[in-house]
Structure 1
Amino acid sequence: MSHLFLRSTSTYLAMSKAKPTYIYKLVSFSSPIPEPIPKALPLSELDAASGFMHFSTAAQVPRTLKRFFAEDPSVTILRIDYSKVEEEIKWEDSKGTAPGEMGGEGIFPHIYGRALGSADVESKSVLHRNDGNWDEALKNAESWLVY
């Protein structure tokens, strides 16, 4: 399996056409995930407003983290086995307004019509922002963030 930190553009392009092993749900520190994870988690404000759950592939996590969670001191990331939700996934732009090809530039996995819950979560990790950026946390999570 390819890991998060890609060595070349050609590696990324080859990987982006392949089906992901996992997709990831990033959750702000302001919405802590209960232990144990419940059967249904509440939707985030963004997911509720959008009408679907936003996910990222491993390759998209760094950009999503830095863009939408830049000020969060920590973020919980839920890892979802793609094969278990594949039939529900719609690959679209971040706003859900334009469908796209899996792995396409700016195209993300979305799930409509339901909440995420314990049965969906393969594992979770909490990343902590250090010195104002996410680089060290991402490097430490490299082996866990698998495409």
Structure 2
Amino acid sequence: MLIYKIFREGEMRAFLDAGESAGAPVDLADGFVHFSTAEQVRETAAKHFKGEDGLHLLAVEAETLGAALKWEVSRGGALFPHLFRVLRVTDVAWHRPLPLENGAHQFGDLS
């Protein structure tokens, strides 16, 4: 099962340069890397990244993260995937820009 992380341009550059990341400022503050499922990621973008351009969408195969990935209750009582270690470039199945068109992020195919 793929899970998704959204990074801003600078966060993405730093991630690729370093080969790993403890996440965005919200992740650092919370002590884990926030992810969303395919069903959650559009709402995550609308809630936390509304109107932001220059975003990147990363897909990670949840099963490869082992015990460091925990599913915890969050927004609206839904279970969200949280990674309790750094995210490594080698964890990422794929990444691509997340374009903003007419005020909405364009996700395309999430597989």
Q: How far does residue 128 in structure 1 lie from its aligned partner after superposition?
A: 0.9
Match of 1:106 in 2: 78
Give 1 or 2: higher helix fraction: 2
Task: Give, in whole Å, the separation in 1 of the partners of 2:15 and 2:8.
Answer: 16
Is the 1:28–1:69 Cα contact (8 Å) retained in structure 2? no
In the alignment, is residue 74 of structure 1 matched against residue 54 of structure 2?
yes
SS of 2:13's partner is: coil
Q: What's the TM-score once normalised by structure 2's chain length?
A: 0.85
Aligned residues: 111
Is the 1:39–1:118 Cα contact (8 Å) retained in structure 2? yes
Identity of aligned residues (%): 29
Q: How far does residue 93 in structure 1 lie from its aligned partner after superposition?
A: 2.5
Q: How far does residue 105 in structure 1 lie from its aligned partner after superposition?
A: 4.9
| Matched letter for residue 77 of structure 1 | L
Give 1 or 2: higher strand fraction: 2
Task: Give, in whole Å, the separation in 1 of the partners of 2:63 and 2:32.
Answer: 19
Match of 2:96 in 1: 125
Q: How far does residue 60 in structure 1 lie from its aligned partner after superposition?
A: 0.8
Task: Give, in whole Å, the separation in 2 of the partners of 1:94 and 1:105.
Answer: 5
Runs of 4+ in 1 over 4 A off after TM superposition: 34-37
Q: How far does residue 130 in structure 1 lie from its aligned partner after superposition?
A: 0.7
CA distance 1:31–1:80, change in 2 (3 Å): same
The answer for unaligned runs of 5 or more in structure 1 is 1-20, 96-103
Pairwise mapping of residues 1-147 of structure 1 onto structure 2 (< 5 A)? 21-34=1-14, 36=16, 38-94=18-74, 105-112=77-84, 114-134=85-105, 137-138=106-107, 141-142=108-109, 145-146=110-111
SS of 1:123's partner is: strand
Task: Give, in whole Å, the separation in 1 of the partners of 2:14 and 2:32.
Answer: 21
| Matched letter for residue 97 of structure 2 | V
Q: How far does residue 81 in structure 1 lie from its aligned partner after superposition?
A: 1.2
Q: What's the TM-score once normalised by structure 1's chain length?
A: 0.66
SS of 1:58's partner is: coil
Task: Give, in whole Å, the separation in 2 of the partners of 1:107 and 1:72.
Answer: 25
Structure index of larger Rg: 1
Task: Give, in whole Å, the separation in 2 of the partners of 1:122 and 1:37.
Answer: 17
Q: How far does residue 125 in structure 1 lie from its aligned partner after superposition?
A: 1.2
Task: Give, in whole Å, the separation in 2 of the partners of 1:122 and 1:58.
Answer: 14
